[in-house]
Amino acid sequence: MTEFWLISAPGEKTCQQTWDKMMAATSRTNNLSNNNKFNIPDLKVGTLDVLVGLSDELAKLDTFVESVVKKVAQYMADVLEDSRDKVQENLLANGVDLVTYITRFQWDMAKYPIKQSLKNISEIISKQITQIDNDLKARASAYNNLKGNLQNLERKNAGSLMTRSLADIVKKEDFVLDSEYLVTMLVVVSKQGYGDWQKTYETLAEMVVPRSTKLLFEDNDNGLFSVTLFRKAVDDFKHKARENKFTVRDFYYNEEEMKADKEEMTRLSTDKKKQFGPLVRWLKVNFSEAFIAWIHIKALRVFVESVLRYGLPVNFQAMLLQPNKKNMKKLREVLYDLYKHLDSSAAIIDASMDIPGLNLSQQEYYPYVYYKIDCNLLDFKV
């Protein structure tokens, strides 16, 4: 993915001349950037006061909408889990990839009617994206709960014999059941301790049934042994086992409980599969909606800022530059030379420079209108 610079400069005799000049300076001879005209329709200007207020509101809205676009993209990556390489093909705007959408941008008259005031259009976008953000929180919370519960159950059925569930390891015939006097215990013994166990288990307490131990299961480090003893000896046996570094697992064979656990796991797994498809579809649709809204905000910001800077009647050319990565610094210099006459005070100031009394609100300032569009929406490489 890539970064774009959305800029505007006042129309010379015609806007085409502004375009031609910029093209000649940046791409015809020295390949500093790939450029496209950025089409902004004739929007309603309104009063200067409204434009000044709107300029600040749009800056905040831009940040908010960008954050929602990134959240939806990131959550898409989280939901796709093992298919993260498929994330990019699901992040489309109006059915096309993001670069194509931006470079061929056309204002959506149906969604954002230009007969409305600029303030109304920005409010339409704000409501729309707030709704997407709220829906995302609700859907993500429901899906994450489901996923978390399923992972907890899966974790119970994996890992060390010291902690994992034993339900899927043992069988009914491994236990003495329904006896008033006898009970079967399960003990975890390290592999190095097998010899000690066989020598000592019968003497760990009185009333251990001789030759009753059986190795039921092994993992890399330990074995799970069963042993049968009289119920009245259980506490004594546990105490002595602990002293000898054998771990007694508190497990009592209960078919109903084990069946319920299995059914719960099947139910959660089925629910997750059922929710997955509709959730991915929702994310695709709403990523597209949010991204489209975001680019419309960029268009609004360019329009408002261009009118505030270059005055009325409205006469400016919006241009989309895709900088050649190696030549970004050179491109900045060329644009500065081309437009420095527009604002003599605007030597290249970087937002990272701390100049007392000058609040750039984290936005670089240049003699031309400039906004960055960064399409690197994910915080990992796919």
Is residue 145 assigned to a domain?
Answer: no
For 11-70, the pLDDT digits (tens) are 988 999 999 999 999 987 778 999 999 999 999 998 989 999 999 999 999 999 999 999
Does residue 110 lie in a domain region? yes
Residues 313 and 241 in one domain: no
Strands 247-249 and 182-190: antiparallel
Q: Model confidence at 159, in pLDDT bands (50, 70, 90)?
A: confident
Q: What is the mean pLDDT of residues 169-182?
A: 92
**Predicted local distance difference test score (pLDDT) of residue 164:** 85
Residues 12 and 106 in one domain: yes
Please say whether the dihedral angle defined by the alpha carbons of residues 207, 209, 210 and 211, taken in this order, is positive or negative.
negative
**Cα–Cα distance for residue pair 297/102, rounded to 1 Å:** 12
* Residue 333, domain extent: 3-125+290-350+363-374
- Alpha-carbon gap, residue 286 to 303, rounded angstroms: 26
Residues 215 and 300 in one domain: no
CA distance 39 to 109: 13
Q: Rounded distance, CA 256 to CA 232, Å?
A: 26
- List the one residue out of 260, 250, 226, 307 whose CA is nearest residue 44: 307
Tell me what pLDDT residue 380 has.
Answer: 53
- Which tokens in the block code for residue 323? 């900088």
Average pLDDT rounded to a whole number, residues 3-14 = 94
In this prediction, residue 153 carries a pLDDT of: 83
Please say which residue of 194, 222, 252 terminates a domain.
252
pLDDT number for residue 95: 95
Residue 382 belongs to a domain? no
pLDDT tens digit string along 289-318? 999 999 999 999 999 999 999 998 999 999
In 3D, which of 232, 225, 177 has the Cα closest to residue 208?
A: 232
Q: Are residues 325 and 233 in the same domain?
A: no
Percent of the chain's residues with pLDDT above 90: 75
Residue 229 has pLDDT above 50, yes or no: yes
- Please check whether residues 103 and 25 belong to one and the same domain: yes
pLDDT of residue 321 exceeding 50, the answer is yes
Residue 254 has what pLDDT?
A: 83
Report the pLDDT value the prediction gives residue 360, as an integer from 0 to 100: 46
**Co-location of 12 and 111 in the same domain:** yes
Does residue 297 sit in the same domain as residue 235?
Answer: no
260-266 mean pLDDT: 87
Q: Say if pTM beats, i.e. exceeds, 0.85.
A: no
pLDDT at position 345 is 66
pLDDT digits (tens, 9 = 90+) for 234-251: 999 999 999 999 999 999
Which residue among 202, 228, 252 closes a domain?
252
Could you tell me the CATH number of the domain that includes residue 236? 3.30.70.100
281 lies in a domain?
no
Residue 47 lies in a domain: yes
In angstroms, rounded to a whole number, what is the distance separating the alpha carbons of residues 339 and 366? Answer: 9
Separation of alpha carbons 267 and 272, rounded Å: 9
pLDDT tens figures, 56-98: 999 999 999 999 999 999 999 999 987 777 888 899 999 999 9
Within a domain: 331: yes
Confidence (pLDDT) at 357: 43
Q: Looking at the 3D structure of the chain, how many domains does it have?
A: 2
Rounded to the nearest integer, the mean pLDDT of the chain is 90
Q: Is residue 310 located within the same domain as residue 213? A: no
At 163 the pLDDT is 87
243 and 183 share a domain? yes
Lowest-pLDDT choice from 182-196, 219-233, 244-258, 346-360: 346-360
Residues 106 and 16 grouped into a single domain? yes
Confidence of residue 253 (pLDDT cuts 50, 70, 90): confident
**Tell me, what CATH number does 48's domain have?**
1.20.1460
Whether residues 323 and 239 share a domain: the answer is no
Residue listed under structure tokens 């796991």: 265
Assess whether pLDDT exceeds 80 at residue 262. Answer: yes
Residue 103 lies in a domain: yes
Per-residue pLDDT of 341-372, as tens digits, reads 988 665 555 544 444 444 444 457 899 999 99
Which pLDDT belongs to residue 152? 86
CA 161 to chain centre: 35
Same domain, 88 and 27: yes
Query: Could you tell me if residue 46 is inside a domain?
Result: yes
- Specify the DSSP class assigned to residue 14: S
Of the three residues 201, 236, 252, the one that is the final residue of a domain is: 252
